[in-house]
Amino acid sequence: MSSTNLPAASMTNREALSRALAVVVEESFFAMVDPVPGVVPAVEGSIVSACVTFEGSFSGSLTCCLPRALAHDLTATFIGEEVPIDRAAVNDLAGEFANMVCGRWLTDIAPQSLFTLDHSVVASTNAPSRAPSGLINGQPIWVDLNVG
C-alpha cells in the first residue's frame, strides 16, 4: 500500500477540493460554482448534509451541506424534470453529490491509491455559521474535509 502524507488543511488540498467541486457541478449539473460575495445570501428553508467516509492510504470524511431547495433543483437537472422528485430522491442525490466530489478529489490527489467509500449519510441540519465554499445558482454550498 502506498503511503500518502496528507496535511489536513494544506492549500493543495483546498485547491483540489475546489476543483473537484467545480468539475462535478459543471459536468453533472451544467452549472457553475461562483465565488462567495461579501454578503452571503440568506438561506431559505432547511439544509441537507451529506457525509461520505473514505478509507485507503489515508482515511477521513467529506461533508457537503446545501439548501434543500438547491438539492431539489440539482436532482431535477440530474434525472430530468419528468420524474417525480420526492424527499428520498433529494436525499439520495445529496449523497451521490458528496460521493462524486469525494471520489473526484481522491482521484486527483492520490491517483495511485485505492480507496473504499462508504454509503453517504444524509441528514437535515442547520446552516453552517462559517462562509460557504461557493455559490451554485446563487445558493450557498459548504464542502468540508476531515482527514485523519
Partner 1 sequence: MKPLKILIVDDSATMRQFVRRAVQLSDVPIATVFEAANGKEALALFETNEIDAVFTDINMPVMSGPELLRELQRQGRRTPAVVVSTDGSPARRREMEGLAQWYVNKPVRPEVVRDVLNELASSIHD
Query: Which positions lie near partner 1, rule CB under 8 A?
Result: 23-24, 27-28, 75, 78-80, 83, 88-89, 92-93, 95-96, 99-100, 102-104, 106-107, 110-119
Which residues on adjacent β-strands are paired with residue 138? none
Smallest distance, partner 1 to C-beta of residue 42, A: 28
Question: How many other CB atoms are found less than 10 A from the CB of residue 116?
Answer: 9
| Residue closer to partner 1, measured from CB, 86 or 131 | 86
| Residue closer to partner 1, measured from CB, 49 or 75 | 75
Smallest distance, partner 1 to C-beta of residue 140, A: 21
Smallest distance, partner 1 to C-beta of residue 3, A: 14
Q: Give the residue among 77, 76, 78, 96 at the shortest CA–CA distance from 86.
A: 76
Specify burial of residue 42 (Cβ count, 10 A radius: 0-12, 13-18, 19+).
exposed
Smallest distance, partner 1 to C-beta of residue 82, A: 9
Q: Give the residue among 133, 140, 126 at the shortest CA–CA distance from 21.
A: 133
CA angle at 23 for the pair 21 and 38, rounded to the nearest 5°: 50
| Residue closer to partner 1, measured from CB, 70 or 93 | 93
